[in-house]
Amino acid sequence: LAMSNSLRHALARNEFTLFYQPQVELESGTIFSAEALLRWRQPGKVPVTCNEFVTLAEETGLILPIGEWVLREACMQLKRWHELGYTNLVIAVNLSARQFFQPNFLGTIRQALDDSGIPASCLDLEITESMLMQRSEDNVAMLKRLSGMGVKLSIDDFGTGYSSLAYLQRFPVDALKIDRSFISGIGQDSNDTALVTAIISMAHSLRLKVLAEGVETPEQISFLRSHGCLSAQGYFYSEAVSSDEFTKLLLRQQ
Ligand code: G
Ligand code: G
Ligand code: MN
Ligand code: NA
């Protein structure tokens, strides 16, 4: 396959970059975190979407070296922002299942923290519900060790999987990210609206933070605020941008 061949050389050829999407506090609009999103640009070619090549990278195992690169790069970039004075800024990194279940996963995290020198509490790992549900006993042990290191854990695309309340309570998870498909239905679709309300109140009773993904309109923002959701990300604030553009966003809010 042509794409898997190009993917194999992409790291060595420096074709990957990270873009960053701000995560903001709803009340103040302050940026508190940057979600790192992987981009692949081959010279002279149309960029491939992340979903396309992440799936291929998982199948071929290339996601392991790519994922390590993402972690390193994201932590190093956060270090630069900390050095500029944004010392409370957090970096959120997406993990794939294969990475998460790799035997030396904890070692990889430790290494990225040590090499960059950022505090563990400023690294937020995004995992999916389905990753939590697989091999749940091993997961509890590993998540407890991660949480013991001080690393934060968020559940990405929340609401699209099958996690139960009982399950959620067993994992040392810090935050739920409500999937953007539900946010886009706020005020449009009564099922989505009810679901968002239920997820927020469930998160509160489990003492979890809750973030709304894919926020695009002021109506969505006022709905979320009035229901006690404290943080959000989405095109209303900013799409994912280069590290330089992200620095400008940080400077602008001073
Ligand atoms: O921004 P974009 O449309 O490319 O993101 C599409 C999907 O790719 C998202 O679901 C996101 O979680 C995933 N993704 C983005 N960056 C990474 C990454 O570094 N690692 C993994 N495993 N997935 C990522
Ligand atoms: O699955 P994950 O949440 O990691 O994926 C992030 C994806 O969501 C990226 O592809 C990003 O480009 C996209 N995204 C971020 N904000 C918005 C938004 O407000 N609206 C839409 N439609 N997509 C968004
Ligand atoms: Mn994500
Ligand atoms: Na998501």
Are the C-beta atoms of 90 and 132 separated by less than 8 Å? Answer: no
**Does any ligand 2 atom lie closer than 6 A to the CB of residue 116?**
no
Number of domains in the chain: 1
81 three-state secondary structure: helix
Paired residues of 40 in beta bridges: 16
Tens-of-pLDDT digits for all 254 residues of the chain?
Answer: 788 899 999 999 999 999 999 999 999 999 999 999 999 999 999 888 898 899 999 999 999 999 999 999 999 999 999 999 999 999 999 999 999 999 999 999 999 999 999 999 999 999 998 888 887 778 888 999 999 999 999 999 999 987 777 778 888 999 999 999 999 999 999 999 999 999 999 999 999 999 999 999 999 999 999 999 999 999 999 999 999 999 999 999 97
**Ion ligand 3 residues within 5 Å by Cβ:** 94, 126, 156
- At 19, which CATH number? 3.20.20.450
- What tens digit of pLDDT does each residue of 149-165 get? 999 999 999 999 877 77
Domain housing 78: 2-252
Nearest-ligand number for the alpha carbon of 233: 2
The Å distance, Cα 188 to ligand 3 centre, comes to: 24
Q: Tokens 């999103």 map to which residue?
A: 37
How many whole angstroms separate alpha carbon 148 and alpha carbon 132? 17
Q: What is the DSSP letter of 241?
A: B
Instruction: Give the pLDDT confidence score for residue 91 in this predicted structure.
Output: 99
Instruction: Give the pLDDT confidence score for residue 202 in this predicted structure.
Output: 93
Q: Does the interface ipTM go beyond 0.90? A: yes
**Does any ligand 2 atom lie closer than 6 A to the CB of residue 160?**
no
